[in-house]
Structure 1
């Protein structure tokens, strides 16, 4: 279910219309909700109080402007009426009903058999659609919703919220994250974080961290160091800034992304910090890179220039091929409970080589979903998230 939730939250990155509107894919959300309900039932939990809907929140001024532009640009579009009903009768033809509905309406969905059919359409003329249906049999369970009114209500509410946020100039809570590599920086920004680009040393100073916190659009800030070496400076920076800051101790990029995906902009600083900290324990981090010198660590030897695989900062494998090292690394990391492996490629890796390595992982570990994303990080062939 966690993999499904992440997939839903990622849908705005796959379809520009969703991102412009500031929403996730409704169908994917519905499917996740069904799966989550099943999980809660099997675990004996109360679905009515336990389920939390995944969302998509980008609180940046640019995102707010894009969403408002989307509302303005679609203001004159007509959506019609969402019309649903059933038809009961002898010798109904689903194919014939589909063909007829497509001539009269949009978003046509027809399911059923020769005796009972359920119809869903969007139409400006519900009477025309229902008149056709009544000629086939008994029409029941009619439900008509005016989507234009719904859209206007939604747009007005969104504009009020945007205006209030703009007037205050503040979000309830903001996230600042350390990242490096073009692809990784983009991922954090797309999920609403202010990014402090660490630079070649990957160790920003206390003042740099404090400046990034001060630039965040809220007086309440969650800071994600994403490197255990940055933790001391992050803790010192909380004393330098006048803002209220909680450091969520993410020790790696995968932990940082996992924590950020738990962030809900409408929750308090304390509630977000709690859920984001809890998310860290669900993520393991793998790294594939070249040994800068000959070394023997944790019982594994590597010559200078060889490829090594690290699991939660412990060297577990070495070899001459990055793809083979990646597979061996994951063999040590993946369990029967693992659901998702995300590969962020960068450093000396080319895209084609990274794709071949990802295919090899998929072939070897069939029970997990494998996602390949450009990280652009220096030095590391792969940064790997195992969930």
Structure 2
């Protein structure tokens, strides 16, 4: 008998199966990165994004606490806050649009599924300033178009319907190299599109009845996720001040604005510690360690009904890691918060102790550790915004793959003015900070900094992890590569030669300053020798050498 509807329980299983399938293929997807660098991250970013939501969905599934509205909210909110990298942000927006279309229905039939697919694609395209075809967006759009075509043709069998949609999307994925020459030259399909296909295929297998392990392990959750815990070591019972780890979701029926949220947090602090309160539209996620969970529950009931309630006796289970992590986060938050409110503050994404120190010296208030090797999530940016006490907060992503997540955090912040300067490199971030003028308005500073970063050219030297051809450069595994703003600038077997060739490709007669930041694997004497040779070749330029301490990249060079 043909199945023609999907209920909340089935949708939860499909979502978790899609997440699990993506997780199992993440390294393979990472290897589809066009540039053969040692930090390809599309699979990792998409996995961390979906797992941020999957943890809550798994808990709801295990407790049989499923209805379409709360499930849709968990998928949307969890993926939005956990979104990392461009591919992760686009995936979260696909989920956001999809769940908006289905949340008010008990079951999903084919016409509603077609509408949800269209809403998903519409939402994702709106989130990207300059959508590019041949990417995850194209694959998603092809699925949506097929979904509409089949629905309008009167298809009633969901098994055939979903199967045909996946077949069409898979074909379009195979054609992405014909849409983007860089994919064709590298011999790969779009990695984001492949990630989406693994989600869809995993979901379809669950729909067909394949047995799936629904367990979402803590190790798959993003670092710093609100409810993450660990059981690596144990703690004596007498050392635990508050014994019950209490978690629940408030389904709001009354106003819960910033003031209510602060009052609620203050109350929880009076009865416990390790407090996390995440409010999103009509749902609030709560976590607290307390000796009387009933008090927290009674207070929460004033704002609405409760779901996903979970109370663990930590004295019996010895959750040492949970306690230590919560205490550390509280100490870091207290240390990071300025004593007085400032007119403006800067948040920058950075990696490497030398670069971190340079940014701090220039006036950056908060560093988010990350970058190309590990893209920070939307929630990482939101947490940083919360910790700086300023009227206006300037965010410097310093990586093109983090700009979407930063903008997503901007739109989710209501109590501060957030200005995202679209810095794609550390060098651009440094230039942006230098060009900030306190006497100018946020709008004037945004325009000035954005204009200034356009004058900066950046090159980065790393090594290749596989053979490929890019920008007519034949690259072999183990070769050194100089990667510029728009592609490969130099390839060779000697770091110094590649770096000098890269710099030559970056230069023109208008350049006045060359800044060289050497990484943690580069010896200072080698960097100094390189600087001297560059200075000799370009005597009209100031050539600066600084310790960056960045991993993976032997040199980061800017010319302006």
Query: TM-score band (shorter)?
Result: 0.5 to 0.7
Match of 2:346 in 1: 175
Match of 1:106 in 2: none
2:378 is matched with 206
1:217 to 357, 373, 389: 389
**Runs (5+) with no aligned partner, structure 1:** 1-165
Per the TM alignment, residue 266 of structure 1 is displaced from its structure 2 partner at its CA by: 3.6
Count of aligned residue pairs for this structure pair = 222
- Which protein is richer in strand relative to its size? 1
Structure 1 length-normalised TM: 0.55
- 8 Å contact 1:226–1:251 — kept in the other structure? yes
Report how far residue 168 of structure 1 moved: 8.6
Normalising by the residue count of structure 2, what TM-score does the alignment of the two structures yield?
A: 0.38
Shift of 1:293: 1.4
Residue 375 (1) aligns with residue 548 (2): yes
> Is the 1:205–1:233 Cα contact (8 Å) retained in structure 2?
yes
Query: What secondary structure sits across from 2:402 in the alignment?
Result: helix
1:295 is aligned to: 468
In the alignment, which residue of structure 2 is the partner of 1:264?
A: 437
Equivalent of residue 331 in structure 1, options 475, 482, 504? 504
Cα distance in structure 1, aligned partners of 2:444 and 2:371: 31
Runs of 4+ that moved beyond 6 A: none
Q: Distance in 1 between matches of 2:367 and 2:423?
A: 14
8 Å Cα contact 1:180-1:202 kept in structure 2: no
Tell me the equivalent position of 1:227.
Answer: 399
CA drift of 1:196 comes to 1.2
Q: Which has the higher contact order (CA 8 A, sep 6+)?
A: 2
1:364: how far off? 1.7
CA distance in 1 between partners of 2:372 and 2:459 (Å): 20
Residue 370 of structure 1, CA deviation? 0.6
Distance 1:202 1:270 in 2: 30
**Selected match of 1:255 from 423, 428, 435:** 428
1:345 corresponding residue in structure 2: 518
Superposed CA deviations along residues 361-382 of structure 1, whole A, max 9, x for unmatched, are: 1122222111000000000010
Give the Å deviation of 1:200: 7.6
**Structure 1 residues 1-387: aligned runs within 5 Å:** 169-193=340-364, 194-198=366-370, 201-242=373-414, 243-387=416-560
Secondary structure, in 3 states, of the residue corresponding to 1:288?
Answer: strand
What is the distance in 1 between the residues matched to 2:338 and 2:373?
Answer: 39
Compare the two structures and name the one with the higher helix fraction.
2
Contact 1:173 1:268 in 2 (8 A): no
Measured in 2, the distance between the counterparts of 1:264 and 1:290 equals 38
Root-mean-square deviation (CA, aligned residues, Å) is 1.8
- Structure 2 stretches lacking a partner, 5+ long: 1-336
Give how far 1:267 is off.
Answer: 2.8
Q: Residue by residue, what CA displacement relative to the aligned partner does 1:179-210 show, whole Å, maximum 9, x if unpaired?
A: 11001111111111121111783300100001
